[in-house]
């Protein structure tokens, strides 16, 4: 079964401190992993996907197949990073919708 | 350009009533998804439409839930005999061609359903 686990419901950090949002997954094949973000009063939007190996708004995420993790990291948090973050998985078979974690609310304190 | 739109934005109904939620996907997007966002439960997949193929209904929680997509565009999610546990935000998303990992899902603003 496909499962995405985000162990932290809430993460509070001070501005300028490093951030790591944890995500672990369970999938028997080779999954594709994503991070989605929902800022206050905005709709859910894609932040980054692992296949692109990109850095968006200073965030990066590395897929670790050995640990089945896809943690989201940023070296220096900004107040505007405060939002709800969802890790999501796709089976990559071309016919399966995304499986989301329950989300982590990041609060960056000035 | 216009994104995914949903209506109504808020719906309050009484237990036992039927409700219809509407989704207008981005023009040209062939895939359409419905998710439910409940407090503490994250996003749960409900149903998925891809072109003219039969929909994937594997996420629907009960037979009170149904959805249709007319003309490959607008979709309606219907909940019959609503229950209090149906209270949630219902999100619609669309993407260009199915669920290839190269195709981003674009989300609508959601419909907040409250069942009294």
Pairing of strands A10-14, A104-109: parallel
Q: How many CB pairs under 8 A join A and B?
A: 55
Q: Is pLDDT at A104 greater than 90 in this prediction?
A: yes
Could A46 and B104 be called an inter-chain contact, meaning their C-beta atoms sit closer than 8 Å?
yes
pLDDT digits (tens, 9 = 90+) for A53-96: 788 899 999 899 899 999 999 999 999 999 999 999 987 655 46
Pairing of strands B10-13, B111-115: parallel
Could A97 and B108 be called an inter-chain contact, meaning their C-beta atoms sit closer than 8 Å?
no
Could B42 and A100 be called an inter-chain contact, meaning their C-beta atoms sit closer than 8 Å?
yes
Could B50 and A95 be called an inter-chain contact, meaning their C-beta atoms sit closer than 8 Å?
yes
Burial of A10 (0-12, 13-18, 19+ CB in 10 A): exposed
Dihedral over Cα of B43, B47, B48, B51: its sign:
negative
Instruction: Report CA-CA distances (Å) from B101 to A52, A80, B3, B98.
Output: 10, 28, 20, 9
By C-alpha distance, which of B69, B16, B19, B29 is closest to B47?
Answer: B69
Q: By the 8 A CB rule, do B96 and B29 touch? A: yes
Q: Distance between CA A65 and CA A62 in Å, rounded?
A: 9
pLDDT by residue, tens only, chain B of 116 residues: 589 999 999 999 999 999 999 999 999 888 899 999 998 778 999 999 988 888 999 999 999 999 999 887 999 999 999 999 999 999 999 988 755 556 788 999 999 999 99
Q: How many other C-beta atoms can be found within 10 angstroms of the C-beta atom of residue A86?
A: 25
Nearest by CB to residue A32, choosing from B35, B41, B101, is B101
């Amino acid at each position: 079964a496909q499962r995405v686990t985000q162990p932290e419901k809430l993460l509070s950090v001070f501005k300028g401190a490093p951030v790591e949002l944890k995500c672990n997954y369970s999938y028997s094949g080779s999954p594709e992993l994503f991070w989605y973000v929902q800022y206050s009063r905005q709709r859910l939007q894609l932040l980054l996907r692992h296949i692109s190996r990109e850095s968006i708004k200073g965030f990066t995420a590395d897929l670790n197949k050995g640990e089945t993790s896809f943690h989201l990291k940023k070296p220096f948090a900004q107040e505007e990073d405060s939002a709800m973050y969802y890790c999501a998985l796709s089976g990559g078979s071309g016919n399966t919708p995304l499986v989301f974690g329950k989300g982590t609310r990041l609060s960056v304190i000035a | 350009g216009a994104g995914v739109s949903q209506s109504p934005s808020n719906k309050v109904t009484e237990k036992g009533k039927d409700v219809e939620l509407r989704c207008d996907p981005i023009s040209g997007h062939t895939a359409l998804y419905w998710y439910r966002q409940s407090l503490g439960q994250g996003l749960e997949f409900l149903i998925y439409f891809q072109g003219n193929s039969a929909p994937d209904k594997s996420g629907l929680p009960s037979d009170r839930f149904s959805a249709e997509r007319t003309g490959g565009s607008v979709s309606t999610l219907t909940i019959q005999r609503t229950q209090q546990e149906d209270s949630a935000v219902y999100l619609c998303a669309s993407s260009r061609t199915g669920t290839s990992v190269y195709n981003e899902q674009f989300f609508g603003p959601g419909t907040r359903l409250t069942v009294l």
